[in-house]
Structure 1
């Protein structure tokens, strides 16, 4: 549930209508979830988000979480995830894919995904992932976690923008200074800091600064 007790707003992005229909039917049986939109490609997804902002410029009708497929015609799920992470950092992306290759998983996380599940995961796993991501955590199924741990160190999962923010943190810059240097809002910088801490398993600001200083070349 959201802070105000309203349902979590979801956007389904998959180029297969049958997959979207199945997901919608399953998710809509859960009282605290609401599927507010569907898209079969990146263009349709971005148009939907723009329409939400046109309706409410404050973003009150934007989805809070996107269930993202990776294989789509035109702009793929990895690139779309990166675009959403950059343009709509308040929207969490949870990848639901057939790809069990570690390279896809690493790329998805680096693009900004908060979680990654395989399409053959049971429905309860998807629900657990949604709840975890919406409470500020990342979520990877057991199979995905194993492949990620074998593939890379945590720092390699940072997006380029998160690496930029980390370098500024290492230089002792405050959020406002980082925002001005990177052309971002202060709120977006705060979101990047939170995502960095989640990916690195860091709890406090002091630990984050220490890590940034010790890993300037990340």
Structure 2
């Protein structure tokens, strides 16, 4: 059975373009298009089948992508959310990830990156591009302001991983230094991004 996709975007031309592109990917099918988050939730309420992945635009009328992601996480935890945006603002990325998004794509991405993101979200449960990683690392390197907590609740091992991930080391080299398997390092990465 193909992976099912829903798209929530108030720009009809953009939504249709993404839909047409995804329909060309082997083993993917677009179930529904929605104008905004509220429209998406209404359609899901009466759907015979839930989508595996929902592509959510950030800026939509009635219910934006932030609230939509949060509602999907609460009401339909099995649905994986992939954020779509024209903006690469760090606060938007972090907020979407905190609201349950499994990845963040710029609308200007190439079709190969969209396909890789969909595959990774299905196979690994998340998609963190080089762009996303750089934005989050830069956000973590921003000087702490008084009263602002930047620890994000990381434990010592996760913080050690994060420091090494900011270096030139590959994940395999990080695994060697931490005396763990590369799979464990993948787990640290996922936890750090979630936090």
Bin of the TM-score, shorter chain as denominator length: 0.7 to 0.9
Partner of 1:110: 98
Contact in 2 for aligned 1:16/1:40 (Cα 8 Å): yes
Deviation at 1:157, TM superposition (A): 9.2
Shift of residue 136, structure 1, vs aligned partner: 2.7
Deviates more, 1:107-116 or 1:129-138: 129-138
| Farther off after superposition, 145-154 or 84-93 | 145-154
2:82 is matched with: 94
Whether 1:142 aligns to 2:138 is no
Q: Deviations over 1:96-146 (max 9, x none)?
A: 111111010000000000000111110110110000010133212222210
Q: Which secondary structure does the structure 2 equivalent of 1:114 belong to?
A: strand
The answer as to whether partners of 1:110 and 1:157 remain within 8 angstroms in 2 is no
How far apart are 1:200 and its partner, in Å?
3.0
**Residue of structure 2 in register with 1:127 after alignment:** 115
In structure 1, the residue matched to 2:33 is 38
TM-score by length of 1: 0.65
RMSD, aligned CA: 2.5
Match of 1:156 among 139, 152, 159: 152
Matched, 1:198 2:190: yes
Q: 1:155 to 1:79 in 2, by over 3 A?
A: farther
Q: State the alpha-carbon separation in 2 of the partners of residues 38 and 91 from structure 1.
A: 15
- Structure 1 match to 2:21: 26
Unaligned runs of 5+ in 1: 1-5, 56-60, 159-194, 203-217
- CA deviations on 1:37-79 (whole Å, 9 max, x unpaired) are 0001112100111012xx3xxxxx1000001100001211001
Q: How many residues align?
A: 155
Please give the TM-score of this superposition, normalised by the length of structure 2: 0.73
1:148/1:20 CA distance change after superposition, 3 Å: same
Of residues 8, 11, 27, the one that matches 1:13 is 8
Please state how far the C-alpha of 1:156 moved relative to its aligned partner.
Answer: 3.3
- Contact in 1 for aligned 2:38/2:68 (Cα 8 Å): no
Aligned twin of 1:179: none
